[in-house]
Amino acid sequence: MIRLHPVLLSLLLAGCPKAPMQTEEPLTRDMLQDTPRLPAPRAGTYAQTIQIPQDPVVRSIVAGRNWDASLAGAAAGLALDAAQDKGGFSRREIREACWQAGYPWPVLSIGVWKGDEKAVPPKGLRAWIESQPIDRDLGVVRARGMGRDTWVALAGEMQIDIGIVPREFTLGHILKLPSHPAGRWRASDGQGFLSEGSLKSGAAIPLDVAGEWILHLFDDEGDLARFAVYVNEQAPRLGVLPVLDKSVNSAKEGHTRAWQLINIARDAYGNDPIKSDPLMTTAAERARDEAKTDLRATAKRFARDPDKAVGWYCEAATIEDCVDRLLWDPTTRQPFVDTASWAGGIAIEYRPGTIKVYGAVAAD
């Protein structure tokens, strides 16, 4: 009979996601009176972390489900801001909260409820939990502030097991990615240069450039995981773009706001603004009129260096979320973070509730 040393056994168990063991607890008045107990909204690693919630009220309603402490940490960050009326639940805020808390996989559903302080959990929350597949990760929390309780619930799914990945690395570290039969990976380094490959046999990516890297793992059906790591620098505590959306009511307003946000991002990385180029603006407008979404070839026509030419296309409910998608996609990120001088042109298609941005940008 093989015997494992107790320390080795505990390490092996810690490295494997564990099914929650809690059974449903009846709610009591004392439980409702307790101050909510929230998981940490900031983590040093990306990992699936199936645990039993410390908050007894949350514990009572997620019994038998996969309550993930990383995903719940993201929910906690969102809930704390919402309880103080300091933030919302836009796509970019959810992404930022998940990265801060160490959850890199797709979030598939979100629910938010606000009610009286110390009240029983909302009926809608119970219905939301019951509607989620049994194997889905849940991040459910309650936060208290300004005389009310705010409940936030996120549902996500670990599409690929990346193990435990630190958010910060030293220069030269080799980041290893697991195999996936149909998966691919893309990485944007600290200067925005793109590399990519197959995950069929896994991958080993040398982190040989300092700064913020973006990793995107995907297959033909969509995202498997997306996350940022930081090489020779600390992970930031704040996002790059403004938290609050600024409404736009025309393509002209959208054009102005898009350039503001693009150059806010450039400034955040210590770079000069992108200069508006009339020829590239005309090319972007033509692409918009022809509904042409791949502008890479267009951008390369204006580029001195074809390796520093990028086509932009995005569609979202707000201009902020649209620019956010460009910023955190390895294929469109380079113009934001590269230290060279860049020029470009953008065109906007505006409809109430939908913004589309077309762009061609290249290094001078």
pLDDT digit string, tens, across residues 194-245:
999 999 999 999 999 999 999 999 999 999 999 999 999 999 988 899 877 8
Supply 68's token pair: 């993930």
Identify whether the C-beta of residue 22 lies closer than 8 Å to the C-beta of residue 52.
yes
Mean pLDDT, residues 124-129 taken together = 96
Task: Select the more confidently predicted residue: 21 or 325.
Answer: 325
Between CA 337 and CA 191 the distance in angstroms is 6
The pTM of this model reads 0.90
**311: helix, strand or coil:** strand
Identify whether the C-beta of residue 318 lies closer than 8 Å to the C-beta of residue 91.
no
Domain total for the chain?
A: 3
The CATH code of the domain that includes 197 is 2.60.40
Nearest Cα to 257, choosing from 298, 316, 177? 316
Nearest Cα to 65, choosing from 3, 133, 16, 158? 133
Biggest distance spanned by C-alpha atoms of the chain:
77
Nearest Cα to 69, choosing from 84, 55, 87? 55
Evaluate whether residue 3 is within a structural domain.
Answer: no
Is there a single domain that holds both residue 95 and residue 207?
no
Between CA 171 and CA 273 the distance in angstroms is 28
Is there a single domain that holds both residue 112 and residue 197?
no
Phi, psi of 267 (to 5 degrees): -65, -35
Is there a single domain that holds both residue 78 and residue 203?
no
Between CA 348 and CA 288 the distance in angstroms is 7
Domain that holds residue 181: 165-231
Residue type present at position 335: P
Evaluate whether residue 308 is within a structural domain.
Answer: yes
Query: Given this model, what pLDDT does residue 312 score?
Result: 97
* Tokens 């297959």 belong to residue: 219
**Residue range 336-351, pLDDT digits in tens:** 999 999 999 999 999 9
Nearest Cα to 136, choosing from 62, 75, 73, 79? 62
Query: Given this model, what pLDDT does residue 24 score?
Result: 63
**Residue range 261-276, pLDDT digits in tens:** 999 999 999 999 999 9
**Residue range 2-15, pLDDT digits in tens:** 333 333 333 333 34
Domain final residue, candidates 123, 156, 189: 156
Supply 45's token pair: 């690693």
**277: helix, strand or coil:** coil
**Residue range 180-208, pLDDT digits in tens:** 999 999 999 999 999 999 999 999 999 99
Between CA 115 and CA 89 the distance in angstroms is 17
Identify whether the C-beta of residue 154 lies closer than 8 Å to the C-beta of residue 77.
no
Domain final residue, candidates 96, 122, 156: 156
Residue 288 pLDDT greater than 90, yes or no: yes
Is there a single domain that holds both residue 326 and residue 219?
no
Query: Given this model, what pLDDT does residue 3 score?
Result: 35
Evaluate whether residue 8 is within a structural domain.
Answer: no
Identify whether the C-beta of residue 227 lies closer than 8 Å to the C-beta of residue 317.
no
Partners of residue 173 on adjacent β-strands? none
Query: Given this model, what pLDDT does residue 6 score?
Result: 35
**Banded model confidence at residue 87, pLDDT cuts 50, 70, 90:** confident
Query: Given this model, what pLDDT does residue 302 score?
Result: 86
Is there a single domain that holds both residue 255 and residue 354?
yes
Is there a single domain that holds both residue 82 and residue 176?
no
Evaluate whether residue 242 is within a structural domain.
Answer: no
Task: List all residues 6 or more positions away from 43 whose beta carbon is below 8 Å from its beta carbon.
Answer: 70, 73, 100, 101, 102, 167
Is there a single domain that holds both residue 193 and residue 281?
no
Mean pLDDT, residues 37-63 taken together = 96
Evaluate whether residue 5 is within a structural domain.
Answer: no
Evaluate whether residue 221 is within a structural domain.
Answer: yes
Is there a single domain that holds both residue 30 and residue 78?
yes
Evaluate whether residue 117 is within a structural domain.
Answer: yes
Is there a single domain that holds both residue 36 and residue 120?
yes
Identify whether the C-beta of residue 342 lies closer than 8 Å to the C-beta of residue 349.
no
Query: Given this model, what pLDDT does residue 236 score?
Result: 93
Is there a single domain that holds both residue 28 and residue 145?
yes
Is there a single domain that holds both residue 182 and residue 54?
no
Torsion of CA 129, 135, 139, 142, to 10 degrees: 30
What sign has the CA pseudo-torsion 235, 236, 241, 244?
Answer: positive
Evaluate whether residue 10 is within a structural domain.
Answer: no
Nearest Cα to 337, choosing from 326, 322, 321, 348? 326
- Rg of the Cα atoms in the chain: 22
The CATH code of the domain that includes 351 is 3.40.33.10
Is there a single domain that holds both residue 19 and residue 143?
yes
**61: helix, strand or coil:** helix
Q: Helix H segments across 214-318? A: 251-268, 278-289, 296-301
